[in-house]
Amino acid sequence: MKVKKYTAKSLPEAMKLVRADLGSGAVILNTREVQAGGFLGFFTKKNIEIFAGLDQDIDYQAQKKQVKQVISEPVQQVVQDEELTKEIRQLKKMVHNLSVQNKEGDSYPAFVEQWRSFLQVQEIDSSISEELVSQLNSKYSAIDGPEAENYDWNLWLTNWLSARMKKSDFGGFHYETKFLNLIGPTGVGKTTTIAKIGAKAVLKDGKKVAFITTDTYRIAAIEQLKTYAEILNIPCEVAYTAEDFKKAKEKFSDFDLVLVDSAGRNFLNRFYIEELQRVVHFDKDMKNYLVLSLTSKYKDMETIYSQFKSLPVHKVIFTKKDETTTFGAMLNLAISHSVPIGYITNGQNVPDDMFEADSEELIQMLLKEKLKHD
């Protein structure tokens, strides 16, 4: 950079000197007042001293020509007004939404609030719903008004939830092992569900099936399973002890599928889990399906799952779909605990009122309720 010093009586005069010498590209580096002239310190005059510089690497004349050319020529490339207007609208919308949230805490636009309210009604766990609503709001804010109205939000929600489920393991039992053990609390419909799975195996898949029950605490449960066994013309054994269970397994060693009906007890008490483990041999030849009722509270389901998962739990069966309109618990377990879902039952008819679970089907059940909610 070329640096020079200029001195004048006033700042305007000094600036004229700089401009005349270095041009409009000059850079003022320093300005100060100095005393000049006089005799023995008397009769001095105040002047202005300027240090200015010019970056010689920049062709200011070329820049001037370029500016003149741009000004003199008609503008050929005009900014696309529609796109610019759209971006401005989107930006205004995002700013508005953020300002609303800042003023009202967790408040969102009416559209997002409707979804938020629905997820709460469906008892979706807050850790899931808060993340979902936040991302929904971001997506909604980024889309222009008219486009947002026509956007497929159901598809967006389906994709969001599906991505968080362990989809590959969803679905029913497909004879990957010989023994299928149904476990769970009392009153959830284990015995009827066993009958449904057994009936499908016999009547639709042509399999050789047998029942074992360890539910010796309820005589009615034993009689109920024996009745189903007679209707299906299959054997049924009652195991009062671990030795009984071992003998029953050996007796049915050449069968395609052996369904085990475990005792329904208060499994909030760890003692009953330990008792179940003493009677039933939980080995690699057995799959354990935890049966839960959709009419139960999610927190209770979560506690029961935590008690049983040491067995372990391979899949969950949800019963009594026909007795509720709240399906958030299924998604909660599938997402928060990565629990695959095997079957969903929706009535007492054997074997009809049962279907294999599919992640997208579960979400559609939820979205159908959204139509009612609106």
The string of DSSP letters for 301-355 reads HHHHHHHHTTS---EEEEE-GGG-S--HHHHHHHHHS---EEEEE-SS-TTTSEE
316 beta partners: 290, 341
Where are the domain boundaries for CATH 3.40.50.300 in the chain? 169-373
The predicted structure's pLDDT at residue 75? 44
* Close Cβ partners of 232 (under 8 Å, ≥ 6 residues apart): 195, 198, 199, 202, 203, 209
Confidence (pLDDT) at 169: 83
Cα 115 to Cα 139: distance, rounded to the nearest angstrom = 13
Tens digits of per-residue pLDDT, 252-280?
A: 999 999 999 887 666 666 666 676 666 67
Tally of CA atoms within 13 A in the half-sphere of 18 that contains its CB = 28
The predicted structure's pLDDT at residue 198:
94
- Two tokens at 285? 């030849």
The whole-number pLDDT of residue 41 equals: 52
The structure tokens listed for 295 are: 């009419």
CA 344 vs. chain centroid, Å, equals 22
**CATH, range 169-373:** 3.40.50.300
Place of tokens 């007679």: 230
Q: Spell out the residues 6+ positions from residue 365 whose beta carbon is closer than 8 angstroms to its own.
A: 321, 327
Residue 79, pLDDT score: 47
The residue ranges of the chain whose pLDDT is under 70 are: 1, 24-25, 29-30, 36-44, 55-107, 167-168, 216-219, 264-273, 275-279, 281-283, 373-374
Structure tokens at 359: 């992640």
pLDDT of residue 332: 93
